[in-house]
Structure 1
């Protein structure tokens, strides 16, 4: 049985409805912009870290003669498998010791990176004659190398040579630069206090 409708209930009904509308309006709405802001922050941090790494590599290359080399063959496997990237530092020949893994530059040929098996004095005080052998090879290289300096391997990271080679591609590098620029512009573009551009508040008529 329905309750009887009285004047008092009719007077109270608009107030109840108004309270219900106010409660609905007060409910927090999901902030979609917030999730987009988090993604932008993460991407900006990644870009910043990448930029810092690139700057450090440039500084180390000029100050400490530290550079990167990539291994396309497996002659140093399993110590340094094919597809690895090694961090190398140029040192004087007088510092070479048996057991070091070094890169020797060869005129008209690609550099070779193998392990030192012997060291002998060269024609001058700064020169050394060294023999090399890849860890995967059964014999020394065909001939010794007379060097005044070499690049010694400090450490290597397997499996990233393809990525590093791709980063050196002008097309990929240009695309990454444009993407990073667009990300920075989007992240710092002025927005209205409400978190979006172009939103208008409409009043009731």
Structure 2
């Protein structure tokens, strides 16, 4: 007599729960490592480190003493304005108990203009391409709401009356770790970019993708005040997109910012954006450059690939005043 072993019915839900359990455990392990090993996730919002770390990647970095950093390491540091920059170390020199780092993006033709004097950095240990896009979106209000709803739905599913063995419910409980871990990563992930030297253009917006387009080269016009008082250099350009704003810096020719601001937010696409550079911004007669960067208003970390640079100068007029003028002397 031939005996036939009874086949178990195919249940897609069981496979889904098993896969979800495995993913949940991995996510929890990663989240735990992030907490106890001080490894911080960072969404890479530009392509200046391509192809090694493309835009949209989720990089994981560890807090490290700057004197442990070597040439070739990829690190994240903060600028004076709070912007986080993630680039490769091309030079490191001791500087009064700290370290002066020269950084350069792999896709950039030249090193950053700023030298970063720091005692600690975030050293990038590894990265996951494209994971930054969903993490960036999940950190928004809608994303967190969907995560919460998903966790609640899975909890209801786990507690429903069922003939499944106890092990099945354990798998469901493990599956619950997925949105919890993703929520943790989303809440702690910090954006990182390479300000003013980006070459990547793909950015994330809502559920899709968007390319932030740089504004055209501004037109500079000398505008006279009364009896040479209040003379300004006026920069104008066409607003690219109603979702954009423009971050600008007035820099010395050596690259040091002396004034900053934001303009254009809330204007209609196609309207004229006007930026007046006056003598009130600086007090030294010299040549300067106005650097303008297009970015999304929300989140402001998603930026255009290129910037524009407009030369201006400050010059005294006899003894009664000073003027800002277009171009360098």
- Identify the residue that residue 121 of structure 1 maps to in structure 2: 94
In the TM superposition, residue 191 of structure 1 has moved relative to its aligned partner by 4.5
1:141 lines up with 2:115 in the alignment: no
Unaligned runs of 5+ in 1: 1-29, 193-205
The 5 A counterparts of 1:149-164 are 149-164=120-135
Give the whole-Å Cα distance in 1 for the aligned partners of 2:120 and 2:29.
23
Give the whole-Å Cα distance in 2 for the aligned partners of 1:107 and 1:58.
30
Give the whole-Å Cα distance in 2 for the aligned partners of 1:191 and 1:158.
41
Q: Deviations over 1:141-191 (max 9, x none)?
A: 1111111111111222212221222333311211221232133124xx244
1:56 lines up with 2:29 in the alignment: yes
**Larger strand proportion of the pair:** 2
The 5 A counterparts of 1:43-192 are 43-124=16-97, 127-168=98-139, 169-186=143-160, 189-191=161-163
SS of structure 2 residue aligned to 1:75 = coil
Give the whole-Å Cα distance in 2 for the aligned partners of 1:55 and 1:117.
35
Give the whole-Å Cα distance in 2 for the aligned partners of 1:42 and 1:107.
51
> Are the equivalent residues in 2 in contact too, given 1:104–1:151 (CA < 8 A)?
yes
Unaligned runs of 5+ in 2: 1-6, 165-329
Give the greater-gyration-radius structure (CA).
Answer: 1
1:42 lines up with 2:15 in the alignment: yes
The runs of at least 4 aligned residues of structure 1 exceeding 4 Å deviation read none
Give the whole-Å Cα distance in 2 for the aligned partners of 1:48 and 1:158.
23
Q: Give me the TM-score of the superposition, normalised by structure 1.
A: 0.67
When residues 137 and 91 of structure 1 are mapped into structure 2, their CA distance, relative to the original with a 3 A threshold, is same
Q: Give me the TM-score of the superposition, normalised by structure 2.
A: 0.43
**Larger helix proportion of the pair:** 1
Equivalent residues, number: 155
Give the whole-Å Cα distance in 2 for the aligned partners of 1:172 and 1:105.
32
In the TM superposition, residue 88 of structure 1 has moved relative to its aligned partner by 1.6
Give the whole-Å Cα distance in 1 for the aligned partners of 2:156 and 2:134.
22
When residues 158 and 190 of structure 1 are mapped into structure 2, their CA distance, relative to the original with a 3 A threshold, is closer
When residues 190 and 157 of structure 1 are mapped into structure 2, their CA distance, relative to the original with a 3 A threshold, is closer
Give the whole-Å Cα distance in 2 for the aligned partners of 1:61 and 1:107.
26
